Structure 1
Amino acid sequence: MTRHLLVPGRGIARAEHWLRRWAETHPEYRWAPEPPGPPLILRDRVAALHTAVGESDEPAVLIAHSAGCITVALWAATHSGPVRAAMLVTPPRITGAEPDDPSDIPWVVPRARLPFRTIVVASRSDPYTTFAQFEQFAEDWGAELVDAGDVGHLDTASGFGPWPEGERLVSELG
């Protein structure tokens, strides 16, 4: 059996967001961590992900959106555990925290090859990351790149509630 851990992005996803919908329709999926509101404190998120991964020897598939992808990369750079694969959806380009931003976003996101199978889902019209930057994330992390087309940030604001193609990708990961 494979566990599925949902790694949320920076803000609170609306009820229509595909991650929230998946949590509701798949009661076996678990948040890691529960979706918090701002500010984004990555050290707390990485610690929560580490706790969730370590709660069982059963392999996990990590499903992350936006800043949750950065949480996964940071976790993998400093921790290990029974992770089978990860789907990283529209990771944001990070240039460092703004001076008035209380988060602890690092100036440099780990770019080493991830130690598990990884899919990076990219958008051609994401407001935070260019397609070329998604390609670089995928190359650096040793990930398969999935071109989702013109889907914005693949969030509620971009029109995504249900996302059946994402569920298909997750099923391929285990």
Structure 2
Amino acid sequence: MSRILLVPGRGRPKPEHWLRRWADANPHYRWAPYPPAPPFTLAERIAALHDAVTGGREVAMTEPAVLVAHSAGCLSVAAWAADQTGATALVRAALLVTPPYIDPRLPSEPDGHPDDGVYGPVPRARLPFRSILVASRTDPYTTFAQFEEYAADWGAELFDAGDAGHIETASGYGPWPAGERLLAILHKGPS
């Protein structure tokens, strides 16, 4: 059995959002970090994710985690994994849903706007755990070809969600049965 850690995007998911619905329906799921208001910086997101994966200073975790990330939360997962080589052994898998595309040629901007949540280039190294990247053909932040780049770089399986927008409330996603099936595959682990 694995722990489920929910990694939100920049904003607070609305009550109808699939990520919020999953949290409400499954009290044992944990936020990493709790949805921001105002948004956290990337460093704060990475620290919160690290504490959730490892148990922080109080408890050492031995049960593997499955990460469920949406939007900018996917970028937090990639940045955390690039920086935490030892702790990544505590992650069984990740479901990465519609990460926004950031051009890898962009320079790092440590003095960027605090609402950005992510600064500079996104780590493109292969993730050290199984991952499924959910791609939409009509996402306003990322083209399908850019999703394919992320999947190839991160070593993720690509799931084509079709014309699904950003897979959030505005795109009609409250319930998301396909996402629940993908999570069940990752939660079960290798056959």
TM-score interval, smaller chain: over 0.9
The yes-or-no answer on 1:23 pairing with 2:23 is yes
In structure 2, the residue matched to 1:66 is 71
The yes-or-no answer on 1:148 pairing with 2:155 is no
Normalised to the residue count of structure 2, the TM-score between the two structures is 0.87
1:111 aligned partner, one-letter code: R
- CA distance in structure 2 between the partners assigned to 1:37 and 1:160 by the alignment: 21
> What are the equivalent positions in structure 2 for 1:1-174 lying under 5 Å apart?
1-55=1-55, 56-79=61-84, 80-81=87-88, 82-95=90-103, 101-102=113-114, 103=116, 105-174=118-187
Matched-pair contact (CA < 8 Å) for 2:112–2:119: no
CA RMSD, 1 decimal: 1.4
Deviation (angstroms), 1:12:
1.0
Change (3 A) 1:39 1:25: closer
2:62 aligned partner, one-letter code: D
- CA distance in structure 1 between the partners assigned to 2:44 and 2:160 by the alignment: 31
Provide, for residues 119-162 of structure 1, a one-character-per-residue CA deviation record: whole Å limited to 9, x for no partner: 00000000000000000000000000000000000000001000
What are the ranges of 5 or more consecutive residues in structure 1 without an aligned counterpart? none
Normalised to the residue count of structure 1, the TM-score between the two structures is 0.95
- CA distance in structure 2 between the partners assigned to 1:118 and 1:104 by the alignment: 22
What are the ranges of 5 or more consecutive residues in structure 2 without an aligned counterpart? 56-60
Greater Rg by CA: 2
Deviation (angstroms), 1:104:
5.3
Change (3 A) 1:162 1:77: same
Deviation (angstroms), 1:84:
0.1
Runs of 4+ with deviation above 4 angstroms: none
Number of residue pairs matched by the alignment: 173
- CA distance in structure 1 between the partners assigned to 2:117 and 2:177 by the alignment: 33
